[in-house]
Every structure is written in structure tokens, then in C-alpha cells.
Structure 1
Amino acid sequence: MPRFDAEVRLARRAALAAGDILRRGRQKRKTLTLKGRVDLVTQYDLRSEKVIIDYISKTFPHHALLAEERGENHKESAYRWVIDPLDGTTNFAHDYPAFCVSIGLEVDGDMVLGVVYDPVHDELFHAVRGGGAFVNRRRIHVSEQRTLSQSLLSTGFPYDIAESKVDNLDNFARMYKVAQGIRRGGSAAMDLCYVACGRFDGFWELKLHPWDVAAGMVM
């Protein structure tokens, strides 16, 4: 498996720059737009996404892009970047300190690289498929816990929970009775990173989009 050193450096720089926008905007007045009944977007989602796309486009102009707000650029390339400029927008809108920037790279349909930056706690996660996962350049490992009754899990719920019967509430009720505890953080990318570093013992969620999990799944 290639090391993708140039791509990792680029993704780390882009994530830090986007995270700085979110950090500075966190406690400022936000313009909120609804994409659905409860699905929000703020001006900081858009600013963060623009910075990331600018970084990638200048360095790798022929690569394809899939971003949560702008959609896909449909370039013909084996390389496709999958971007969530602000995972945890609802948290961010309420100044709840659980949100992040997520940047993943797909090559020939396989996710090979992930970078997730939590600007509140200044934690920069990155991983290359087959090369281990790191936070702030320190290698991390998943939990060794194998007993569900002693496991701390994480999950989330879909935006259409009020309209759809596929709402994860049945799974949540079953798992809550057998796990040590369950947390609902509101950022799938961060949840996956927390599994990668052993803070959570497991994670599940339904109806996620590619940008929600692209980077985290590599961890």
C-alpha cells in the first residue's frame, strides 16, 4: 500500500486551516439555514468547505471531489476526496463542543486515507490504510474490551427520525440494556476516531452519508 505522504500533508494542512475557521466562529453569531426539518448548515460549513477545496484543487487539480455542501465535481479521476467541512453542525450551532473537520481520500473506490480534526480539543487524527492510526502524531489503538456488558458504545440517530420507522431507537433500546453505557455525541467522524483510540469500544449508526464516515472508517 502506498504511503500517500503528499496527500496526508495536504489533508492535515487543509483540516487545520478549516478547523481554525470553526474555532474562531464557534462563539460568534451564526446564520442558520435548514436543509431539512432539523438538518442545519451555517456560513462556517461553507467557509470551511471552501478552504478545504481550495487546498486540494491547488495541489491536486485533477482529483475528483465529493463535498457535503457543494456536492460532486464529477472529474474523471481514480482519486476522489470526500469532505465533511463541519461534522456536528447542530452541536456547533449550539456551541456544544463536539464537532470536527473530516477529509477522506478514495482511490479506485477504496478509502485509503483519513484526516479528522477536532478544533475544540486540538486533536488531529490521521490514518493511511494499512499504516496505523495517529492522533497528534501519536499512534493509537482500539480498545481490547471484548465483553459487551463492559463496553462503552456510541451511536446516532437519522435526521428523518420523526418521519421514518427506520430510526435506530429499537437498536438503541436493545443495546442500552446489554452495554455498560451508550453515548450520543452528534459527530460520526469523531465517534469513529474515538473507537480508533479506545475511548469507545464500538459504534453504530444508520443512514450515514459517505462524507460522514469517509475519513473515520480508515482509522
Structure 2
Amino acid sequence: MLNFCQLTSSVREIAVEAGQFLRKERKDFHNYVSYVDKESERLVVERLSALLPEAGFITEEGSAVYSGEEYCWVIDPLDGTTNYIHDNAPYCVSIALRSRTELLLGVVYEVCRDECYYAWKGGKAYLNGEQIHVSDVRDVENSFLQLELPYNYQDYRPTIEYVFHELYGKVSSIRINGSSAMSLCYVAAGRFEGWMEAYIGKWDFSAGALIVMEAGGQVTDFTGNEHFIDGHHIIATNGYLHQSLLQLVKVVPPKL
């Protein structure tokens, strides 16, 4: 039986180490973003392989593989690459551990603010050692939301145009952060009430999704299905506003 509390502590150290590498490379930046992505991933995969040798990997850069193992690491070595290129926060390292059916732990290290968000199944959610919880905002009118714009703009345009039309001027404010993992963590910490994005990879949302759920929030796919871990269209909220956002995307759903 794995001790997820102890395992999460070790993963936090790995995420911070990778984040320090990103910070150093950013200071010496010379248009080698693909190099930075791959080197960060190589470092994380190497450390995690030593930590849990029996686990497989799902990685953004494809430096390791998943072959049906009981446990699987899901890694984004640099989430928010465009922000990183332009020296704009946030960007982060995202690491999750999952089984074949559920998320087990998640760690997200935001480099610019030196913030480490983490959670393990049944263990609550934390930011730099302090427990965090989603907000208690219950009215859409008072909500602060995040609506990302994925690369599949032609397929997603009808959906996001409708969502913006229905929300713009009717909520407190809307932001685009440029990092799915960080947007999820901000929901978990109560800084935002909700987030949604389509056409994203497992490495983008796995760690952050568990952190939201352990912080008391709700995560589903765009159909409202809570078995979302192999999906690509994700909504995360403080729970109170989930049905409101879900109903919007159901009116004009993206192509699946």
C-alpha cells in the first residue's frame, strides 16, 4: 500500500527542482524552449522513476511511456509555455499520479511566485504547507472566472463565443491565464470561482483537478460526467456555480 502523504512530499521536492531549472534557464533564455521542455521532463521522469519504479508515464513531450501499469505518472514539465516565452506569469511544473480509474496525488509548482500546490486522495489540499479551500461565492454575478482559449480555435469558437456572450458584463470579471494547471489551482485556492477549457491533454489538468476536488470543489467534463480523467474537455468550479457553467457549454457544445 502506497503512503500518498509521504509520496506527495517527495514529488513536491522533484517539482520544485524542475521549477528551479526552468527559472535558471529563463534567465539565460536563448529561444531553446523545446530544449527546456524536454530537459525539465527528463529530470522529472528520472526522479519519479527512482521514486516509484513500477509506474508508467503519460508525458507531454513523450520521453516516457505508459504500458498499462497499475500506477501512472502524468507530467507537464512546463505548463504555460507561451507565458514562459514572453516572461509572463504564470507557468509551472505539473505532476500527478493516477491509477487506471482515479487520480491519487497532484503537485503543481508555480515558478514565478514560488507557490507549491499539492493534494493526495483523501488528504485535503495545500499551498506551501497551508490548507486551502475553494471560495464560497454562490452567485454568478459575483464570480471571478477563467476561460481559456485552446489551439483548436475553429472547433471551439462557437462554444467560447456563446459562453463569453452569456457571461461578459454579467460576472465580476473574466481572465485568461495561459496555464490550465495554474487556473485549476487558483480555483482550489479560492482566487477564482471557475474555469473551463476544451481540447487539453491529461498532463494539463490531472494534478490540478485533484487539488480542486480535495479543496472542496467540483470537476467534470463538459457533459457533467465526474469520470473525466481520460477526457479532454474540463470544467472546474467551487461547486456552487458548476451547474451554471455546465448549462452554458451544453447549449453549444464543442466537437468531441
TM-score of the aligned structures, taking structure 2 as reference length:
0.77
Residue 72 (structure 1) shift:
5.0
Alignment-derived partner of residue 46 in structure 1: 38
Distance in structure 1 (CA, Å) of the matches to 2:59 and 2:11: 14
Specify the alignment match of 1:28 in structure 2.
28
Offset at residue 6 of structure 1 (A): 3.4
What do the CA deviations read for 1:18-47 (whole angstroms, capped 9, x no partner)?
A: 000111122322335xxxxxxxx5321111
C-alpha contact (below 8 Å) 1:27/1:95 kept by paired residues: no
Per-residue deviation, 1:3 = 4.8
Percent identical among aligned pairs is: 38
Q: Which letter maps to 1:165? A: D
SS of residue in 2 equivalent to 1:199: coil
Q: Is the 8 A contact 1:125 1:133 kept in 2?
A: yes
Q: Could you tell me which residue of structure 2 aligns to residue 37 of structure 1?
A: none
- Alignment-mate amino acid for residue 14 of structure 2: A
Deviation at 1:189, TM superposition (A): 0.5
Greater fraction of residues in helix: 2
Contact 1:30–1:42 (CA under 8 A) maintained in structure 2: no
Judged with a 3 Å threshold, the aligned counterparts in structure 2 of structure 1 residues 3 and 61 are, in CA distance, closer, same or farther, namely closer
**Map of 1:38 onto structure 2:** none
The structure that is strand-richer by fraction is 1
1:73-122 alpha-carbon deviations (Å, 9 max, x no partner): 13342100000000000000011121000000102321111000011111
- Give the total of aligned pairs: 209
1:10–1:56 Cα contact (<8 Å) kept: no
Over 3 Å counting, the alpha-carbon distance change for 1:3 and 1:177 in structure 2 is farther
**How many Å apart are 1:13 and its aligned residue?**
1.3
Partner residue in 1 for 2:155: 165
**One-letter amino acid of the counterpart of residue 24, structure 1:** K
Contact 2:94 2:207 in 1 (8 A): yes
Contact 2:66 2:72 in 1 (8 A): no
Corresponding residue for residue 36 of structure 1: none
Report if the CA contact (8 A) 1:30-1:43 is conserved.
no
Q: Which residue of 2 aligns with 1:115?
A: 107
Which residue identity does 2:23 align to in structure 1? R
Equivalent pair of 2:152/2:199 in contact (CA under 8 Å): no
Give ranges in structure 2 of 5+ residues lacking alignment.
212-256
Match for residue 192 of structure 1 among 184, 197, 201: 184
- Distance, in Å, in 2 between the alignment partners of 1:30 and 1:174 is 42
Runs of 4+ in 1 over 6 A off after TM superposition: none
Q: Distance in 1 between matches of 2:140 and 2:55?
A: 42
CA RMSD of aligned residues (A): 1.7
Residues 76-95 of structure 1 mapped to structure 2, 5 A cutoff: 76-95=68-87
> Is contact 2:42–2:63 with CA below 8 Å preserved after alignment?
no
Which runs of 5 or more structure 1 residues have no equivalent in the other structure? 33-40
Equivalent residue, structure 2, for 1:62: 54
With over 3 angstroms needed to count, the CA separation of the structure-2 counterparts of 1:2 and 1:62, relative to structure 1, is closer
TM superposition score normalised by structure 1: 0.90
